[in-house]
Amino acid sequence: MASNSAQINGSAISSDWRDRYFHIDQILDQPGPRTDPSFSAGDGVKDFLRNKCKILVIGAGGLGCEILANLALTGFKDIHVIDMDTIDISNLNRQFLFRPADVGKPKAIVAAEYVMKRVPGVKVTPYFGKIQDKDDDYYMQFNLVICGLDSVEARRWINATLVNLVDPENPESLKPLIDGGTEGFKGQARVIVPTISSCYECSLDMLNKPTTFPICTIANTPRLPEHCIEWASVLEWPRVHREKKLDTDDPEHIGWLYSVASVRAKEFNIEGVTWSLTQGVVKNVIPAIASTNAIIAASCCNEAFKIATSSAAYLNNYFMLIGTEGVYSFTFEHEKREHCPVCGGKSLEIPISRDWTVEQLIEMLTEKQTIQIKKPSLSTSTKQIYFQAPPQLEQATRPNLEKKVSELVEEGGEVIVTASTLPFHLSLVITYT
């Protein structure tokens, strides 16, 4: 009896594998009412999807786990995944590809192994490291890129990289980017066609106000309790503890930061430094809801399928989900920004007061919604104004922080802004009011 049962179950399992893509095949076997004119039904499009289309997933966290599983079950068979993190026990409530025994292991590697085990025939190639480790040739091999990231800097980097890849003489150099993001019960998915649709940089003004602060502000003129906490974590911790790494999950480390930040705040007559605020600032906590991840990942993979197969028109170009009070979603087209430093290619005119110091200009570049450059370095074609690194150059240019910009840059002069976190530079034309 047991033998017969096993045989029956085995037959059912084999049948399941054969029929896994039955519903996908129904979509691809014939055109539909919204099918792209270039759609070619039948074996050709199936062969491209399953044997030729190479897709990159960036991030293997809450969103990335859902995306990887969805892609494998949709018919994509050549998937690559990049993630620089290892698995923490706090991930297990929503990152369903991981188990308690996986804690401490690289997310990309564990996720790839799990998907390949559960969906035979799918190849998932992991890379445990940063997206910045890879060069242009690496990204050129993919047909599509999907981001499931929790980092604005990483999104900006891959967006600029894919825009810079585009060669008008080579259609294969255009790599559509699908970006997903979640925060609590809210989420968004978007399709970016580099140089054609608005890019990630175009929509920086839609982001929440940045929680990072200019190093010069936290070092010299703190005004907020967050400045004092950043000072304690960014400057004082490495000065006092040298090579010892700050562990934001260690209560003793958070306690030390809270104590030091409180003393700093008292010195500058600043109120509001609390234990919970200290923890929130240094951990940059973003709430994560499994159901939101599932919806946004499904939207991202749906767009990937449509782009890869031309079976329907892809999103133009933004989908928003709001689940805080009921469930509400809408789509809209986010237009390209004329002065976008990535896809616009034009200089940005910045009017400032003649009395502004270099330090004030840096603070504006950090906090302005449409720019948000973390730790910017400034120069002109003839002089170095202020550089964040290396230490010797930072020390040499530090006196310029207190100088007026008007002393260093003439009316209509161009200032080049760079940052280690971004693969592009921003050209500013300075005018005085």
- List the structure tokens of 52: 């030729």
Given a contact cutoff of 8 angstroms between Cβ atoms, the answer to whether 321 and 329 are in contact is yes
**202 has catalytic annotation:** no
Please say whether the beta carbons of 371 and 204 come within 8 A.
yes
**Dihedral sign, Cα of residue 364, residue 368, residue 371, residue 373:** positive
Sign of CA dihedral 99, 100, 103, 105: negative
Give the DSSP per-residue string, 254-317. Answer: HHHHHHHHHHHHHHTT-----HHHHHHHHHT-----HHHHHHHHHHHHHHHHHHHH-SSPPP-S
- Residue 81 tokens, joined: 């995944």
Q: Pick from 297, 281, 289, 295: which is nearest to 149 by CA?
A: 297
142, 248, 299, 376, 424 from 373: Cα distances, Å: 28, 24, 29, 6, 11
Find all residues with CB under 8 Å of 418, minimum gap 6, and list them: 376, 377, 379, 425, 426
- Peptide bond before 214: cis, by omega within 30 degrees of 0? no
Which of 147, 216, 228, 343 is flagged as catalytic? 216
Give the catalytic positions in this structure: 216
